[in-house]
Structure 1
Amino acid sequence: MPEFDISHLLDTGTLAVRNVCCRGNCLHRSAEECASATQLVFPYRGVYIRHVGSDQAVADANHVLFFNADEGYQVSHPVEGGDASLSLDLSEPLLRELAPASLLNHRGTAGFRRQHQRIDPRAQALVALLRHGLEGGTLEPLEAEGLLLTLVCRSLGPRTSHASGATHARRRLADRVKVLLASDISRRWTLAEIATEIGGSPVYLTQVFQQVEGLPLYRYHLRLRLARALDLIARYDDISALAAELGFSSHSHFAAAFRQAYGRSPTAFKQATRRL
């Protein structure tokens, strides 16, 4: 059985979109891989770690990853269950036009200076709308291109993204916390439980995570759970059952958190994926 399941959802010449599902069999570092073109990769399910030299980035639904053309990397899966991502290829002229100059390197082929950065809930919602719409055949190419350009601008814009300025050691500590949260996404974690698993005091972990990710630990975990809801919502007729699966205390708690993050109720979002 192949390690990857790749679905080509759109290719207009200007941009191309693929849905990439990985079984996650490689727990340790994989053999070195290399992207043929610069890509923006939006994980929406599961977690993995991408290694570029001595640097690493945790890939989860709260981030966009930057895969530079002809740049070697390795992947490892610290949590079982595999992962899935929406992968976007942009033409080089379009990438240079949309990406802030501060994000791009100065090599011959356009690429990014860093491996990843955090995105906001509205970008997460766009990823879900695009995937559901393209897989369901309800998105016309022109509409899909418009949504994709909005997603790119929102993901790269300084007002809706976050890049850490923390030290290497603090970023690695935050990475361990991210992997722990992803290992049991529906669990109602406490700071004491996280501190016991990771090591260190709850106060220190809270401060480090805030510095690295720019938002509180509990909100980061909440966004992971809500992103999982975006992935699963088309399969559920009973929203209360989805809320329970994701560890919310009630339907109303889930609906309120979903509305605050994405600007509409779970039911309205589900209907929107069908109308696209």
Structure 2
Amino acid sequence: MSGYAVQQLLDTEAVSLYDVVCDGACRHKSGEECAHGAHLVFPYRGVFMHHLGGGRDAVAEPNQVMFFNGDEGFRVSHPVDGGDACLSLSLSPDMLAELTPKDQTRGRPEVAFEAQRRGIDPRAQALVALLRHSLTRGTIETLEAETLSLTLVRRALGEQTSHASAGSWGRTKLVDRAKLVLASDLGRRWTLAEIADEVGVSPVYLTQVFQQVEGVPLYRYQLRLRLARALDLLDQYDHLTNLALDLGFSSHSHFSAAFKQHYDRTPAQFQRSVRAQA
């Protein structure tokens, strides 16, 4: 059975935030669990599988927000070593209902998400990191943390800032296998042929299906996984060149340019912002 470490980061009438770290010891499906109320889970490190009834499985990793509904049983598993870490966010029922588009919910009195997951954009990833680092360090006021949390929910649910997975069940499963290959070694410089061989299809077919299901090319998806990992690790590195190389970038300049393009600030600027004193 996997072990969990849970740290409460924020708890107000409007917003609750928890940092949840799982050691990943449970490689196969866990026993059934049940969430108490709807909440959004933002993985920021590692990967896990989220299993619902009816064979509905999804890969949970830092390019996604996962939806957990109240009183809906689920299981988790860890097909890749290393466990996972997530920011878990819940809102008051009234606020969640106000923020959630009606076409993303089921017909129930309380909010219940229709989808199992949605792809999020780089700015949502940056908000996850900023909230987590700032609340852990105590460098953010409650009102600002609440406001940023609502902004994060809007981005995670917005049609212009998130992406619903598209494609048939079989194609989605194929893409999930490719995601697990990428997540198994973020620092490796995979070739298209190597990934395609791992999942058992041709490189051409893999690129076509991945683009259809996720809405972004495979190479960009991998880049965003690496950058999300950088957001998690920035506070632990004094020399950013070492971080860049550990994550598979060819140089510090390559890493810095990609980071700035996605998050509108350089790694050094983001690092200074999370290390700032209140």
CA distance in 1, matches of 2:227, 2:45: 11
CA distance in 1, matches of 2:74, 2:2: 20
SS of aligned partner of 2:175: helix
Q: Counterpart in 2 of 1:200?
A: 201
SS of aligned partner of 1:27: coil
Percentage identity across paired residues of the two chains = 59
CA distance in 1, matches of 2:39, 2:2: 22
Q: Counterpart in 1 of 2:123?
A: 122
Q: Counterpart in 2 of 1:256?
A: 257
Q: Counterpart in 1 of 2:170?
A: 169
Tell me which amino acid in the other structure corresponds to 2:96.
Answer: L
Q: Establish whether residue 38 from structure 1 lines up as the match of residue 63 from structure 2.
A: no
Q: Give the drift of 1:15.
A: 1.1
Tell me which amino acid in the other structure corresponds to 1:144.
Answer: A
Tell me which amino acid in the other structure corresponds to 1:44.
Answer: Y
Q: Counterpart in 1 of 2:215?
A: 214
Q: Counterpart in 2 of 1:106?
A: 107
SS of aligned partner of 2:65: strand
Is contact 2:2–2:26 with CA below 8 Å preserved after alignment?
no
CA distance in 2, matches of 1:136, 1:147: 16
CA distance in 2, matches of 1:72, 1:27: 19
Tell me which amino acid in the other structure corresponds to 1:68.
Answer: N
Q: Give the drift of 1:2.
A: 7.2
SS of aligned partner of 1:125: helix
TM-score normalised to the size of structure 1? 0.98
* Cα-to-partner distance string for 1:23-51 (whole Å, 9 max, x where unaligned): 01111111000001111000000000001
Is contact 2:156–2:162 with CA below 8 Å preserved after alignment?
yes
Q: Counterpart in 2 of 1:49?
A: 49
Tell me which amino acid in the other structure corresponds to 1:35.
Answer: A
* Cα-to-partner distance string for 1:40-94 (whole Å, 9 max, x where unaligned): 0000000000010110111000000000000000101010111000000111100
CA distance in 2, matches of 1:208, 1:256: 28
Q: Within 5 Å, which residues of 2 pair with 1:124-163?
A: 124-163=125-164
CA distance in 1, matches of 2:111, 2:236: 39
Question: Could you say what the CA RMSD is over the residues aligned between the two structures, in angstroms?
Answer: 1.0
SS of aligned partner of 2:13: coil
Tell me which amino acid in the other structure corresponds to 2:248.
Answer: G
Q: Counterpart in 2 of 1:14?
A: 14
Q: Counterpart in 2 of 1:274?
A: 275
SS of aligned partner of 1:184: coil
Is contact 2:52–2:74 with CA below 8 Å preserved after alignment?
yes
CA distance in 2, matches of 1:124, 1:189: 23
Q: Give the drift of 1:107.
A: 1.4
Tell me which amino acid in the other structure corresponds to 2:28.
Answer: H
Q: Counterpart in 2 of 1:29?
A: 29
Tell me which amino acid in the other structure corresponds to 1:146.
Answer: T
Is contact 2:2–2:25 with CA below 8 Å preserved after alignment?
no
Q: Within 5 Å, which residues of 2 pair with 1:89-104?
A: 89-104=90-105
Q: Counterpart in 1 of 2:246?
A: 245
CA distance in 1, matches of 2:216, 2:166: 13
Tell me which amino acid in the other structure corresponds to 1:27.
Answer: R
Q: Counterpart in 1 of 2:86?
A: 85
Tell me which amino acid in the other structure corresponds to 1:245.
Answer: D
Q: Give the drift of 1:274.
A: 2.1
SS of aligned partner of 1:95: helix
CA distance in 2, matches of 1:167, 1:185: 27
CA distance in 1, matches of 2:181, 2:41: 22
Q: Give the drift of 1:13.
A: 1.5
CA distance in 2, matches of 1:69, 1:185: 33
SS of aligned partner of 2:163: coil
Q: Give the drift of 1:126.
A: 0.3
Any gaps of 5 or more consecutive residues in structure 1?
Answer: none
Is contact 2:186–2:247 with CA below 8 Å preserved after alignment?
yes
User: Which range moves more in the overlay, 101-110 or 24-33?
Assistant: 101-110
CA distance in 2, matches of 1:93, 1:105: 16
Q: How many matched pairs?
A: 276
